[in-house]
Amino acid sequence: MHPPGADTVLIRYGEIGVKSSQLQQRLEQLLQQNLTSVLRASGIPDVIRRERTRLYVETTPERIQSVTETVTQVPGVVSASQAVRTDATLAAIKAKLVETAAEAIDTGTFAVRARRAGEKAVHPFTSTELERNGGAAVIEALQEQEHTPTVDLEQPDTTLFIECREDDAYVFLDKRAGPGGLPVGSQEPMVALLSGGIDSPVAAWSVMKRGCPVYPVYIDLGEYGGVDHRTRALETAERLSEFAPNWHHPVRVVPGGPGITRIVEETDSLRMAVLRRFMFRIAELIAEDVGAVGIVTGESIGQKSSQTSAMLSVTSEVTTLPLIRPLVTLDKTEIVDKAKAIGTYRDSTISAGCNRVAPDRPATKPSLSVVCDAEPDDIAELAREAVANARLVNAEEFMRA
């Protein structure tokens, strides 16, 4: 719900505000750029105005809902509010407050919460005085109703918010949560392995939320994969790009089939460990090429035979880059819930393909030396050949990739 005539979306951030002044300014500018990019990609031409500790989208009542839904998907945004702007005077604020209350309050209790920025020399009233005067104005204006609203400062049915800046004031009714975190581009990039399953897009989104652009990589499993797996991986990569279109990178589709066929032919119970290490070799080569500083995977402890704590240790050893596993302690239900929330979930029984590679009795805690001995002698060369034959796939061509 928003005030009548709502024409501004207030955007708040969190961690940015505790950085040094110089860094804070840079991060604010970056978040502003990312928000502008997302709005433009959604066909929204509105202007984003930046003041210290706040960003504002000046829009129209007709677009207020779509703007709010769009900006609250962007990493770095903690919350947003649909507000109506007015002059920063007590009379103007009270008038907008009464107008909003008339629309928002039917029965029940209410409270007024105010935040005033600036010294009292700028505004001849405090936040507390705004709340008291605003609440009294609402009661006086609505006392002719059949049910005159009463104030409840503990658990009000309706809360009327006021944010008063130096030159303008804003009245709004709620705060819609965003993902929080840091703006994409504030950290160095990562290579994100996308399998076509539920987990890996959530892992990629998690590092984007912490400011890292991602280079999405899909390793085609050859005869052990399929077009459905690839299509899902590319679709989720496209969805991830919508959170920061200005940091979008095409998907690298790597033909891993020849190497995977060799692994299947030459290994048995250790196959999954060797396969994961093969994938990490590929990811490391791509990271070196694009300047990424780590590899992101959707692994979770114990979820599969290849994800036991012992296996994670063995597979991690193959690369000198950090292996980032944002989901490592999450249950599957938590991962599914997050995938649904960010729009990458597919309610499908299509597997990512690795189950067709897995042996009947996979090893779950092999030693590093045993796994290394089981790898094909030329596995490093197989990884290099796969990367050399990788294709960059853009969104417009992903369905025929």
Task: Give me the pLDDT at residue 291, please.
Answer: 97
Task: Give me the pLDDT at residue 371, please.
Answer: 94
With beta carbons less than 8 A apart as the criterion, state whether 290 and 191 touch: yes
Question: Would you list the domain boundaries of the chain?
Answer: 8-177, 190-400
Place of tokens 């949560």: 177
12: nearest Cα among 66, 83, 60, 63: 83
Q: What is the CATH number of domain 8-177?
A: 3.30.2130.30
Alpha-carbon Rg for the chain in angstroms = 26
Q: How many CA atoms lie within 13 A of 311 on its CB side?
A: 23
| Chain-centre distance for alpha carbon 26 | 20
Place of tokens 């114990």: 302
- Residues in the chain, pLDDT under 70: 118-121, 146-147, 347-355, 395-401
Integer angstrom CA distances of residue 211 from 26, 79, 199, 239, 338? 13, 17, 19, 17, 18
Task: Give me the pLDDT at residue 353, please.
Answer: 56
Task: Give me the pLDDT at residue 347, please.
Answer: 54
Task: Give me the pLDDT at residue 117, please.
Answer: 82
- State the first-to-last Cα distance of the chain, in angstroms, to the nearest integer: 43
The pTM for the full model equals 0.91
Q: Does domain 190-400 have CATH number 3.40.50.620?
A: yes
What does the pLDDT look like over 32-80, one tens digit per residue? 999 999 999 999 999 899 987 889 999 999 999 999 999 999 999 999 9
Task: Give me the pLDDT at residue 108, please.
Answer: 87
With beta carbons less than 8 A apart as the criterion, state whether 257 and 223 touch: yes
Strands annotated E in 31-93: 47-51, 54-58, 79-87
* Total residue length of the chain: 401
